[in-house]
Structure 1
């Protein structure tokens, strides 16, 4: 006789879910959606395209949050019904389906719980990621491209739109650097724990001596700012260079000088943009990103000054945050949290939620304040 009892597991999930729903405040989100829908219905909205995009993006993000929370609640209800049916019908197939759904729901609710920890000033924004190769020659540039693919695959797995803004290809393998957007609610808050130095140890595919090679790549994550009007940039502080967009091996993908490079002379910050078709579009996109970086730099300097005055100038994040081992032991280990995964291929294919969630929980520990 079939006796499927998942009541304890379901009750634990429901308790966690109720806490999440209280923090997320679905009723409050629905009120925001109603207000945004009213603004979106205004026939004059698109006379200001930038403002219209802000409204529609905010509307989309809040609806997505509501769908996630309500969807998880509905699935919990359905799971209880599924367990009852399995027992009434003594159907092992339905019981197996219920067990599988329980495991899937545990992951879904865990992800939602982690999202409730994201309460930083910019956490709910979309993200702009930059990957830069470090020491290690061809292995490092290849590693940078592997990391770029990893994050883009993670976004694809979650259904998040992405846009590659700029790529600098290496003469040999891989990339010197790349910048791309991930447009999703809380993408910045989630991915900000990925910022830092990543290390790869493997038998190099580019050498003939079969020696172990260690290479490095840096990951930078900043929030996507719709506007950065708090930063005024005098024209004299910017050098503008235009050039032709190019792909791997220098093959031209554009017959006009549409790509733009902005150099902020006082800070040395350089922004390149070649994704858009026209020079005007690329310059506008580059300027927005430059304003964002300067705004964040300003806030970082203010925070550093506060720490200095308080007598604490030790950064809470070390440079090297994670190691990827592809020789002997197959292992990915986060050096901050101790979280490990023994299947690097899956990690490089975008299966990084466990690493990310562990990082978010670690960052919210009292001893990390």
Structure 2
């Protein structure tokens, strides 16, 4: 094989070796057999919560073990194509094999980064909260664009998306909104997005077509399950009910079904208006508050001056993690990793994985995109 194909094969094999060691294939195979036996038990769903955890773990192990088996088969197929093309002087077949090797290398590297998601709550569902910054209608519209970007990202991953709260802007866009994203490793990926996001564009609201800069903040925090105990005293909280301003038909807009909880010691505020029932909204708001308090505690433990906490001081200049420039040129740049994209339209349509991978790799290895040399 020519040098390009040999280098690709070597990189893929190294990535697969790292994935096998991280997973511990023998132990994972035994555990999957145990879970399959539990799933066959007719009493499994007597405890719905326990059953769901078993099914999630089983699905994850099937996916990871299945991916390794598929990598082996696809690697062999691609190498066969390259060798066949070389032996018969068929450049097209040889190039097809190399294209398959490149795609396999990209997926192996993505899964290698995903293997870094081993934190206590990385596998959990997550809340993504967006707030407009100073700037009125411009910032509200930018917050709406970000909100859509994360919804599209979640849909690309086949995650389930629910709108928990949405407060419309006075003229356009949103002042704030919260998404609940449900799916394996949803929080592990999305947690990289917390911070201030900056947009530069020709304003559609300016009759003089001037360039404007807008800011919006994004906070990401995990859904907390029963394994993690967070003590919240009701006496430390103020609970307000109000009329929902979001979509949902006549009933949701004519009753005080929305709930806002303010945690007085920390100043954390959460709100929920996704349900018609005030009782359900209140229960969800309490869960959101527990999650926010957990996220706050983790941030404090990691470092008092962590980038996440520092970025929360102000939604404006000097605190952004990423810039999106639509005019006078096209560029999205992450200021933490230096990773860039020249296609803002694709990024705003949910193409965020490369940015997330770069941030995860930097956190784990102190550099840019993860490489085999860094891990070894």
Q: Normalising by structure 1, report the TM-score.
A: 0.85
Contact kept? 2:44, 2:51, Cα under 8 Å: yes
How far apart, in 2, do the equivalents of 1:54 and 1:244 lie?
36
Contact kept? 2:223, 2:287, Cα under 8 Å: no
Query: How big is the shift at 1:151?
Result: 1.7
| 3-state SS, counterpart of residue 53 of structure 2 | helix
Query: How big is the shift at 1:192?
Result: 1.6
**1:86-133 Cα deviation digits (max 9, x unpaired):** 345554553343233222212211111212333333223332211111
The residue number in structure 2 matching 1:263 is 262
After TM superposition, the structure 1 = structure 2 runs for residues 1-369 of structure 1, keeping only pairs within 5 Å, are 6-87=5-86, 90-227=89-226, 230-247=229-246, 252=250, 254=252, 257-301=256-300, 303=301, 313-317=304-308, 319=311, 320-366=320-366
Contact kept? 1:4, 1:83, Cα under 8 Å: no
Query: How big is the shift at 1:228?
Result: 6.2
**Closer, same or farther in 2 for the Cα pair 1:47/1:70, shift >3 Å?**
same
The residue number in structure 1 matching 2:371 is none
**Closer, same or farther in 2 for the Cα pair 1:316/1:131, shift >3 Å?**
closer
How far apart, in 1, do the equivalents of 2:161 and 2:269 lie?
22
Query: How big is the shift at 1:220?
Result: 1.0
Root mean square deviation of aligned Cα: 2.9
Query: How big is the shift at 1:251?
Result: 6.4
**1:213-235 Cα deviation digits (max 9, x unpaired):** 11111111112222265123333
Query: How big is the shift at 1:48?
Result: 3.5
Mark the runs of 5 or more structure 1 residues left unpaired by the alignment: 308-312
Answer with 89-98 or 212-221: which moved more: 89-98
Query: How big is the shift at 1:246?
Result: 4.0
**Closer, same or farther in 2 for the Cα pair 1:252/1:6, shift >3 Å?**
same
| 3-state SS, counterpart of residue 329 of structure 1 | coil
How far apart, in 2, do the equivalents of 1:97 and 1:367 lie?
33
How far apart, in 1, do the equivalents of 2:182 and 2:7 lie?
37
Mark the runs of 5 or more structure 2 residues left unpaired by the alignment: 312-319, 369-376
The residue number in structure 2 matching 1:310 is none
**Closer, same or farther in 2 for the Cα pair 1:136/1:16, shift >3 Å?**
same
How far apart, in 1, do the equivalents of 2:218 and 2:114 lie?
21
Contact kept? 1:333, 1:339, Cα under 8 Å: yes
Q: Give the length in aligned residue pairs.
A: 358
How far apart, in 2, do the equivalents of 1:265 and 1:220 lie?
19
**Closer, same or farther in 2 for the Cα pair 1:184/1:219, shift >3 Å?**
same
| 3-state SS, counterpart of residue 6 of structure 1 | helix
How far apart, in 2, do the equivalents of 1:222 and 1:109 lie?
27
Query: How big is the shift at 1:53?
Result: 3.0
**1:198-217 Cα deviation digits (max 9, x unpaired):** 11111111111222211111
| 3-state SS, counterpart of residue 138 of structure 2 | helix
Contact kept? 1:61, 1:184, Cα under 8 Å: no
How far apart, in 2, do the equivalents of 1:158 and 1:14 lie?
26
How far apart, in 2, do the equivalents of 1:226 and 1:96 lie?
49
**Closer, same or farther in 2 for the Cα pair 1:32/1:134, shift >3 Å?**
farther
The residue number in structure 1 matching 2:317 is none
Contact kept? 1:4, 1:87, Cα under 8 Å: no
How far apart, in 1, do the equivalents of 2:243 and 2:57 lie?
34
**1:315-335 Cα deviation digits (max 9, x unpaired):** 345521111111112111111
Answer with 14-23 or 338-347: which moved more: 14-23
How far apart, in 1, do the equivalents of 2:41 and 2:278 lie?
31
**Closer, same or farther in 2 for the Cα pair 1:65/1:31, shift >3 Å?**
same
